[in-house]
Amino acid sequence: MARSWNDHWRIVSSTPTRRGAQGAIQHVVALEGGREGALKVLHDDGQFRRERRFRLKEEVNALSALTFGVPKLLDSNASEAADEDPLFLVMEWIPGPSLAQKLSAGPMPFGDALTCCTEILRTLGTMHRLPIVHRDLKPDNVILRDGLAANPVIVDFGLAWDETQMDREFHSQGQDMGNRFLRLPEYAPGRDSHHARSDVCLAAGLLFNMLVGRAPRILRDEHGRAPHESMSDVIPKAAKADARWPRLARVFTRAFQTELALRFQSAEELADALSHLVPNVPEEDVLFPALERLAADMESSKWRNRIERQTAIGNLGAKFDQHLRNLLTKTGLAFPGHHGFDGQSRTYNSGYEITTRRDGSRFSSASVGEGRQRLWNPRSTKLVLVVRSTDNGLSGIPWI
């Protein structure tokens, strides 16, 4: 005869027993070492039912295969029990409320709900790669370790399926796999209920429940509306006011499709969509602040003084240019072009340095500065003129 759970564990009577459809969960403590655990035993009428025993053994297998996001398996007699032996399993005791208990106080903040759902999807991604499909995700089957939204633990693998099991035999008998939290069409009797995409849809339902405080119940109502559309009037204003809500609404629209092919195809795909809810933040506008600074500078006294000096320089430059042209005309020199200042009093040349030298039969001059001016005097061999401009005006006197 296989060993019994009370060979190594005792019940903590102060903790209420949690009863489910297939069995009961009780808080226990190890007789040696005092380690806490959660004991699961089948109801009396299920201990010798083939399907119930099969499902408990599959739950043991699932907990053994997973390393995070689910309770650790501590003890079980599933591998050694004969058909007549009562089955049990003991898993890690998770301190904290269930998600259902947490939501009884009201919806969760937007950020906490996204964090919790993302962690659930991370666990589902690992499960589905094994592959194991939970098939019974609901607030009662998620425990928040130490009450933290960032540390959800998925429990109750009583309906879990993996591709090696005989689950199809039991389901073909007309059993409805759905729950009242969110009924999926593929969980109806006679349908194929072995899709990881169903878990992903249920995870989206958990997120909706966390944000709204109500279970989604069905994918589409009689008017074809998804839960976030049919219950729009009860969605908290804080959730709708969040900048992420418009994109999340589109995520829900896809997640709550009745056709499997139209939903998110994996836990990773839904998690990626949830990670991109924040609208693109526009790049920092560097032009407008620069224009504001320029406008402020142009209104300052320093700018006005600069404009006044430039205007004075321009006027003086124009007079000097005309005077120089008059002198050059008298000496027979030609001075093409304009003076070194434009109509807005901006300096073109930092200064003039004019000299003459013999170049064959022609005398020429070179200008030092940004621009160049030339003098032609085929008759005279002597002309030296040096003049430079400064911020405060012109310095130097033209001499001939």
Q: What is the CATH number of domain 96-278?
A: 1.10.510.10
- β partners of residue 10: 29
Query: Token pair for residue 292?
Result: 């504001």
0.85 surpassed by pTM: no
Q: Is 173 helix (H, G, I), strand (E, B) or coil?
A: coil
Residue corresponding to tokens 């008017």: 223
Task: Tell me how far apart the alpha carbons of residues 355 and 399 are, in angstroms, rounded to a whole number.
Answer: 11
Query: Token pair for residue 5?
Result: 């759970």
CATH 1.10.510.10, the chain: domain bounds: 96-278
Residue 332 DSSP class? T
Asked if residue 267 lies in contact with residue 200, where contact means CB atoms within 8 angstroms, the answer is yes
CA 286 to each of CA 7, 289, 300: distance values in angstroms, whole numbers, following the listed order: 73, 6, 22
CATH 3.30.200.20, the chain: domain bounds: 1-93
**What is the rounded average pLDDT of the residues 215-223?**
96
Q: What angle (nearest 5°) sits at the alpha carbon of residue 23, between those of residues 167 and 168? A: 5
Q: What is the CATH number of domain 1-93?
A: 3.30.200.20
Task: Tell me how far apart the alpha carbons of residues 273 and 206 are, in angstroms, rounded to a whole number.
Answer: 16
Amino acid at 239: A
Query: Token pair for residue 302?
Result: 């320093």
pLDDT one-digit tens code per residue, 326-379:
776 766 555 544 444 444 444 434 344 343 333 433 333 333 333 334 343 444
207 closest CA partner among 285, 109, 329? 109
Task: Tell me how far apart the alpha carbons of residues 149 and 233 are, in angstroms, rounded to a whole number.
Answer: 26
**What is the rounded average pLDDT of the residues 36-46?**
91
Task: Tell me how far apart the alpha carbons of residues 392 and 340 are, in angstroms, rounded to a whole number.
Answer: 16
pLDDT one-digit tens code per residue, 240-284:
999 999 999 999 999 999 999 999 999 999 999 999 998 765 556
